[in-house]
């Protein structure tokens, strides 16, 4: 198909942008597109081959054969469905073929500022699907079956499903030229910056979204954009890029909400058996969001098929099931996954005026036949008692015909308060392990963070436990003991420990800077009244962060560290003996100007960029 003149101009612009020397992400071909999407795939049904990827865009994006196979099978319903029309759902699958160098290079900066549940995952892709099945007499099989799939590392389910509603119907009619034009429009979007409200034009519509930030207060309404006068009117405003309608998702299982929250908190293996990929993916995503603001650190697959590359890994009976939440639709899984400890069977969702019938917990032995009734099949006994007040509030809301978003807000607030009540004692105890600031001195290595002692923490619960903020009664100590063995605790502890280490390093550098300032007599204007050139790493670093030494001067001074340093010998701020000086260790490589290593600096091989810095700001240190 010949491209229209307008598309030829877009292609020319694309070729120009790929000229040598275009180094920034926005200057690279499809650099801005890659900030949002990895690629767009069209998957069709071939009578001889079955599902097949007929198009990948941008055309130079490379998927491995394993990834293509995963996308093929995950973008179509796994079991027969006689329903016609359009359906949308999502899936998640592993990256294969090793780590790729992304065109968009600011993953570290984005993940540092984004809410933990919205960070880019370097090991997994999300797939957002628009599947169409309609009768078509011109096709041998009698049906037109095709899916348009957006592949991304961002969990922006609401944004990408809204985007598919705009572009998929148009693509099914006009095919490749439409898709190329849409991708070129997305390639003009600004990158997703946490805390900012963005206007995203596509196909004559402006989608307005706000990217949540790590600094947002949990449960608070989105902050208003600061520069409202610069924002264009947006006809399509998304209240959230990722939050689902929890009330609609959890309607059939409200009686099990407490048990499901505990299972997710403890990282227990859980299967969601649903009648459709849409119901499966929505339930899995809703469940994994229950722990906010705690990050869900286990694997999860919103939609999983018998063709998945991990099928054997998850269905084997020779080892315990992994910590993963699986969403499935094929009845074959009822038999294959019968050894899993927790199975949630969903029925058809009926939007009635009352709550669907709430079924009590059932034994796993009863889940053997294809006609097994909906319910939670498990032998798990909850540590905490159920919150009957919540069910009464939801019923009251139904009788008053409150909108679903109001009911969802009630559910989300309940889950947030429950998770915060659980995590706050852990946060307080972790903070107590931080060394005192007075123990941080410029002439010694930073003190160590004290180890997390589980028994010591449990002793604090009597006076500072969840009972101070949560009305639920139960065995909180037992719940914490199980939590300590879960991937979620391991992920939470590692993240907090990294943050505390960065804090210690920043305080240590600040102490060095203050010592240099005091001993060198730094005056306003940034000059050293002693006129001494620092020639040891700690003195050089202190002068650099104070703005009294350029990056080049810092590199030269640190590289000459073999000689005596006039600053520290003249003023002895590093101690009176050579042994004191040797106790100092350099800051991490990530904190150095120009992102160079100490080995390179000492070898005189570094050539940092010009300019100076105040208090280590350009190193990304937050004190």
DSSP E strands, 316-374: 324-328, 342-345
Q: What is the DSSP letter of 37?
A: -
Is 401 part of any domain? Answer: no
Contact yes or no for 585/541 (Cβ under 8 A)? no
DSSP E strands, 238-341: 270-273, 299-301, 324-328
- What pLDDT sits at residue 80? 57
Q: 48 and 176 share a domain?
A: yes
CATH of the domain at 69: 3.30.450.200
- What pLDDT sits at residue 470? 92
- What pLDDT sits at residue 67? 94
Is 21 part of any domain? Answer: no
237 has which bridge partners? 208
Structure tokens at 217: 């207060």
Distance in angstroms (rounded) separating the CA atoms of residues 205 and 209? 13
- What pLDDT sits at residue 601? 38
Q: 423 and 323 share a domain?
A: no
3-state secondary structure at position 311: helix
Q: 162 and 280 share a domain?
A: no
Contacts (Cβ under 8 Å, ≥6 apart) of 438: none
Distance in angstroms (rounded) separating the CA atoms of residues 20 and 189? 23
What's the N-to-C CA distance of the chain in angstroms? 58
Smallest Cα–Cα separation from 520: which of 578, 574, 577, 571?
571
Contact yes or no for 203/167 (Cβ under 8 A)? yes
Is 212 part of any domain? Answer: no
Count how many domains the chain has.
Answer: 3
> Tokens 């973008």 — which residue?
75
Smallest Cα–Cα separation from 545: which of 617, 485, 599?
617
Range of the domain at 425: 407-506
Distance in angstroms (rounded) separating the CA atoms of residues 136 and 143? 5
Q: 105 and 52 share a domain?
A: yes
- What pLDDT sits at residue 30? 78
List strands edge to edge, sheet with 324-328: 299-301, 324-328, 270-273, 342-345, 375-378
Q: What is the DSSP letter of 355?
A: P
Contact yes or no for 293/416 (Cβ under 8 A)? yes
- C-beta atoms surrounding 183 within 10 Å: 20
Contacts (Cβ under 8 Å, ≥6 apart) of 468: 421
Q: 467 and 374 share a domain?
A: no
pTM (2 decimals)? 0.80
Q: 378 and 413 share a domain?
A: no
Distance in angstroms (rounded) separating the CA atoms of residues 190 and 230? 14
Is 445 part of any domain? Answer: yes
Contact yes or no for 602/562 (Cβ under 8 A)? no
Length of the chain measured in residues: 623
Structure tokens at 33: 């597109």
Among candidate residues 446, 472, 506, the one where a domain is terminated: 506
Is 44 part of any domain? Answer: yes
Burial of 584 (0-12, 13-18, 19+ CB in 10 A): buried
Distance in angstroms (rounded) separating the CA atoms of residues 18 and 30? 9
Is 578 part of any domain? Answer: no
Q: 441 and 477 share a domain?
A: yes
CATH of the domain at 256: 3.40.50
Contacts (Cβ under 8 Å, ≥6 apart) of 498: none
Q: 278 and 134 share a domain?
A: no
Q: 450 and 348 share a domain?
A: no
Q: What is the DSSP letter of 467?
A: G
- What pLDDT sits at residue 5? 40
Q: 297 and 384 share a domain?
A: yes
Is 465 part of any domain? Answer: yes
Q: What is the DSSP letter of 276?
A: S
- Which phi-psi region, left, alpha or beta, contains residue 189 (left: φ > 0; alpha: ψ -120 to 50)? beta
Contact yes or no for 127/151 (Cβ under 8 A)? yes
Strands 205-210 and 197-202 come out as antiparallel
Distance in angstroms (rounded) separating the CA atoms of residues 443 and 176? 65
Distance in angstroms (rounded) separating the CA atoms of residues 344 and 378? 9
- What pLDDT sits at residue 432? 96
Among candidate residues 475, 506, 537, the one where a domain is terminated: 506
Distance in angstroms (rounded) separating the CA atoms of residues 176 and 148? 12
- What pLDDT sits at residue 14? 40
Q: 339 and 468 share a domain?
A: no
Distance in angstroms (rounded) separating the CA atoms of residues 193 and 177? 30
Q: What is the mean pLDDT of each run of 10 residues along the chain (623 residues)?
A: 39 38 50 92 82 90 93 85 82 82 65 92 95 83 88 97 95 86 94 94 93 85 50 75 95 92 98 95 97 95 92 90 95 90 84 55 61 85 92 89 93 95 97 91 85 96 92 95 97 95 86 66 41 52 54 51 45 38 41 43 34 31 25
- What pLDDT sits at residue 341? 95
Smallest Cα–Cα separation from 104: which of 187, 44, 184?
187
- C-beta atoms surrounding 225 within 10 Å: 16
Q: 307 and 251 share a domain?
A: yes
Contact yes or no for 600/569 (Cβ under 8 A)? no
Is 463 part of any domain? Answer: yes
Among candidate residues 506, 538, 553, the one where a domain is terminated: 506
């Amino acid at each position: 198909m010949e491209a229209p003149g307008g598309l030829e101009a877009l292609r020319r612009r694309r070729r120009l942008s790929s000229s040598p020397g275009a180094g920034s992400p926005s200057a690279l071909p499809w650099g801005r597109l890659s900030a949002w999407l990895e690629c767009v795939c069209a998957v069709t049904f071939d009578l001889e081959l079955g599902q097949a990827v007929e198009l990948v865009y941008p055309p130079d994006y490379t998927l491995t054969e394993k990834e293509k196979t995963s996308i093929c099978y995950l973008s179509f319903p796994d079991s027969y469905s006689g329903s016609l029309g359009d359906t949308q759902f999502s899936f998640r699958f592993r990256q294969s073929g090793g780590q790729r160098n992304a065109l968009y290079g600011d993953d570290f900066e984005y993940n540092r500022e984004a809410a933990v549940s919205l960070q880019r995952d370097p090991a997994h892709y999300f797939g957002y699907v628009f599947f169409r099945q309609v009768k078509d007499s011109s096709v041998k099989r009698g049906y037109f079956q095709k899916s348009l799939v957006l592949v991304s590392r961002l969990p922006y389910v609401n944004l990408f499903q809204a985007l598919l509603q705009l572009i998929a119907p148009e693509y099914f009619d006009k095919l490749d030229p439409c898709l190329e034009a849409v991708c070129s429009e997305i390639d003009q979007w600004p990158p997703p910056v946490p805390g900012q409200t963005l206007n995203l034009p596509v196909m004559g519509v402006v989608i307005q979204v706000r990217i949540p930030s790590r600094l947002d207060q949990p449960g608070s309404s989105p902050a208003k954009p600061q520069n409202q006068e610069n924002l264009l009117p947006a006809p399509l405003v998304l209240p959230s890029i990722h939050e689902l309608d929890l009330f609609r998702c959890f309607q059939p299982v409200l009686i099990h909400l407490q048990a499901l929250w505990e299972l997710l908190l403890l990282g227990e293996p859980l299967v969601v058996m649903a009648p459709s990929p849409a119901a499966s993916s929505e339930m899995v995503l809703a469940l994994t969001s229950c722990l906010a603001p705690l990050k869900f650190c286990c694997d999860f697959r919103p939609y999983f098929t018998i063709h998945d590359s991990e099928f054997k890994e998850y269905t084997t009976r020779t080892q315990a099931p992994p910590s993963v939440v699986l969403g499935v639709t094929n009845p074959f899984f009822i038999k294959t996954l019968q050894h899993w400890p927790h199975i949630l069977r969903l029925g058809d969702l009926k939007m009635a005026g009352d709550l669907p019938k709430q079924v009590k917990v059932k034994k796993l032995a009863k889940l053997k036949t294809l006609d097994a009734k909906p319910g939670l099949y498990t032998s798990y006994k909850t540590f905490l008692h159920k919150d009957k007040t919540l069910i009464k509030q939801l019923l009251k809301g139904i009788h008053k015909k409150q909108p679903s978003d109001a009911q969802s807000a009630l559910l989300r607030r309940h889950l947030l308060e429950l998770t915060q009540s659980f995590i706050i004692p852990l946060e307080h105890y972790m903070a107590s392990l931080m060394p005192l600031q007075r123990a941080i001195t410029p002439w010694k290595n930073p003190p160590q963070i004290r180890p997390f002692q589980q028994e010591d923490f449990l002793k604090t619960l009597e006076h500072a436990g969840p009972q101070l903020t949560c009305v639920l009664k139960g065995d909180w100590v037992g719940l914490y003991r199980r939590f300590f063995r879960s991937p979620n605790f391991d992920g939470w502890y590692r993240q907090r420990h990294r943050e505390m280490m960065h804090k210690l390093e920043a305080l240590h550098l600040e102490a060095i800077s203050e010592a240099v300032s005091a001993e060198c007599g730094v005056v306003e204007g940034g000059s050293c009244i002693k006129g001494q050139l620092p020639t040891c790493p700690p003195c050089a670093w202190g002068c650099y962060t104070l703005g009294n030494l350029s990056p080049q001067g810092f590199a030269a001074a640190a590289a000459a560290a073999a000689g005596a340093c006039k600053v520290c010998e003249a003023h002895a701020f590093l101690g009176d003996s050579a042994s004191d000086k040797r106790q100092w260790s350099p800051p991490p490589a990530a904190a150095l100007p120009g992102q160079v290593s100490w080995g390179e600096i000492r070898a005189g091989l570094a050539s940092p960029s010009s300019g100076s810095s105040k208090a280590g700001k350009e190193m990304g240190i937050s004190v």
